[in-house]
Chain A
Amino acid sequence: MNLTRRDFMSIMGIAGSTGFLSPAAVASSWGSGKDPYEVPEYGNVTLLHITDTHAQLLPVWWREPGTNIGTRPQKEWGITPHLVGNAKLAYYDIQAGTPEGYALSCMDFDTLAHKYGKIGGYAHIATLVKRYREQVGKKAILLDGGDAWQGSATSLWTKAEDMVGAQNLLKEDYFVGHWEFTYGADRVEYLLKHKLQAKFLSQNVFTIPWDEPVFDPYAIHEVSGRKVAIIGQSFPFTPIANPAYFTPKWSFGIHPGHMQKMVDECREKHHADLVVVLSHNGADVDKKMASQVNGIDIILGGHTHEIMGPKPVMVNKTLIINTSTNGKFLARFDLDVGKGKLNGWRFHYLPIISNMIPADPEMVDYIHKVRAPYAEKLAEPLAVTESLLYRRDNFNGTFDQIICDALREEMDCEAAFSPGFRWGYCKLPGETITMEDVMGQTAITYPQVTVTEYTGAELKNVMEQVADNLFNPDPYYIQGGDMIRVGNIQYTMDPSESIDKRITDLRVGGKLVQASKRYKVAGWGAMNPVEGTPVWDIFAKWLRSKKTVSAEPRDLPVLTKNMQGNPGIAFPKEYDL
């Protein structure tokens, strides 16, 4: 993979349709005075893809995970996206300390963040989208892979209307969903019908009990005299990963058989020249689905919150990408679509480093306007952090650690659980945590804090169930999310084991857990409707009382020795490896 930009260019020259530009190739042009966002025109269709922005209208800090172990046997370790830190840099052939090194690795995050600045932001995305639309004209299609409506205070307080406005300004063409559904079926239907201009597509959402499609499964988009079929795939495990009571009459699932039927229908009935799936499956599920379904040219993936690359992964003649989160990347496919087939393609992951892209004035105005009513509340300073605060990691992120600390102290519990969400941006050491930042970690429609008395056996069962949702070797049995975050709970974890056998030496407060003893555990994000104070109020109260916070010590598990050398672990010492 040690290719220079010149090598890439020559490969493209020789191989034509199989050429690509990697982020490394883009990186090599950085600092050379050349515009790193300049992408040559190619072909007759351009797909622009963003996903999982999690309602971050403004640029944020976003650190890649330091732990993303994956579930493959040891001989298959290091398959994208399950690699982190220096292993990831080596795989992508990227120098540490470059803009790409900053965008793609957790190493030296604090230092590089100060050097390169925040990522994402709809005003910066808008500038790049407008620029490419001007470049290629009507050949462009802009697709949003979902999780755009949730993750911020303003999205929660406007019930996603702030995000719909931003999507409309971007002139998005197609959309699928996941967290969108946690606003409830009625709100989703209202926004899709009356507010959102993009077309919402899903082949995998059906009514209960009659099993009929809820949404249009696909659209045929005519461009440059070619027919591009866009098939939507919403998050298959929505009513399992999130409360089912938000969508009691809708059933989800992967439905590879129905996907095949849709692909065949697009090709045979509509004579589609290209079949694209806009997916919120997650990278591992996309790969398995592509191995089962024939005739998909491209899967534009999300949910994984990391790019999968550097070039698209090819499974069963299907090109699969995954486009990160929080507006960190825009993906661009330039395609030469022939009659009934894809003749050639070029692909770029474009990091949205906000300091390097001017803000679009129209979007700036819009964002200012939607935030204005809440500005004072959002800006309330609560505490200063001494630690780098982040969430994304297989185990306790530092932000979750202090949420667990807050829950234990405020609810007077010996232990705490916090959901293994993968959204939630970062704060740098020395920064002030504001109310907006608290909402950036907690803005969900089921935020009630509960205190539950678990027996030791129940405690272990909860953790085993969640661990299997993360480490089951078959991606179709993984519903997404990271390991449940714990406060004052210690354990040893073997990810390669099967359910009920992964967790050993389980302790609360350092003492071995007894199966029949009861433990008082604070938590939030219950799957059934419950009464309780919203977690943001409890977290904010605790922060105000502390004034200064640190995420040490952390309740990380000990990982078993068979995880030694796993390229999905950047800092093995954190896990006693």
Chain B
Amino acid sequence: MSAIGNPMIRMPSSAKKGEIVEVRSLIMNPMTTGLQKNKAGKIIPAHFIQTVEVTFGAKPLSHLDWSTAVSANPYLAFKMRAEDSGILEMTWKDNQGGVWSAKASLKVA
């Protein structure tokens, strides 16, 4: 299996108050469906991220539920309104107990 985890967040480090900024993220995960067989004819077990939690300043911002239809090594972009400086944290959890987090800070002028 290729690398797993290694979550990354890219977003502006600063923004004007009230500005809507884009948050972009990436994490390595096979996102296998459990429906496909390997070359030996054995089912490849489903292994996929099921939830993504996003907080800003420790307050809930967004939450996602994913199926196996989301592509391998999921990329996710979304927006947030910059009101106060703080830390954005994202947490990905997969169905095999994997949990990964990443943080990024935003300074609001």
Contacts and interface: CB of A to CB of B under 8 A. Distances in A.
Q: CB atoms of A and B under 8 A apart anywhere in the complex? A: yes
Interface string B16-45: 000000001010000000000000000000
A251 B91 CA distance: 27
A208 to B, nearest CB: 9
Contacts of B24: 210-211
Interface in B55-109: 73, 75, 77
A209 B73 contact: yes
Nearest to B71: A209
Interface residues of B, number: 6
Interface residues of A, number: 3
A209 B26 CA distance: 8
B57 to A, nearest CB: 26
Given A209-B26, A209-B75, A211-B24, 7 more contacts: A209-B73, A210-B10, A210-B24, A210-B26, A210-B75, A211-B75, A211-B77
Contacts of A209: 26, 73, 75
10 contacts: A209-B26, A209-B73, A209-B75, A210-B10, A210-B24, A210-B26, A210-B75, A211-B24, A211-B75, A211-B77
A248 to B, nearest CB: 13
Contacts of B10: 210
Interface of B: 10, 24, 26, 73, 75, 77
A538 B73 CA distance: 42
Nearest to B26: A209
A209 B70 CA distance: 14
B78 to A, nearest CB: 13
Contacts of B73: 209
Nearest to B8: A210
Closest 9 CB pairs of A and B: A209-B75, A209-B26, A209-B73, A210-B24, A210-B10, A210-B26, A211-B75, A211-B77, A211-B24
A48 to B, nearest CB: 39
Contacts of B75: 209-211
A211 B10 CA distance: 12
A211 B24 CA distance: 10
B52 to A, nearest CB: 16
B95 to A, nearest CB: 22
A210 B77 CA distance: 9
A211 B75 CA distance: 9
Interface string A203-216: 00000011100000
A268 B58 CA distance: 38
Contacts of A211: 24, 75, 77
A154 B51 CA distance: 54
A211 to B, nearest CB: 7
B23 to A, nearest CB: 13
A210 B10 CA distance: 9
B71 to A, nearest CB: 9
A123 B67 CA distance: 59
Nearest to A209: B75
A209 B75 CA distance: 7
Interface in A183-216: 209-211
Nearest to B74: A209
A46 B26 CA distance: 46
A362 B42 CA distance: 66
A212 to B, nearest CB: 9
Interface in A126-159: none
A477 B73 CA distance: 28
A43 B48 CA distance: 61
A209 B77 CA distance: 11
A213 to B, nearest CB: 14
Contacts of B26: 209-210
B26 to A, nearest CB: 6
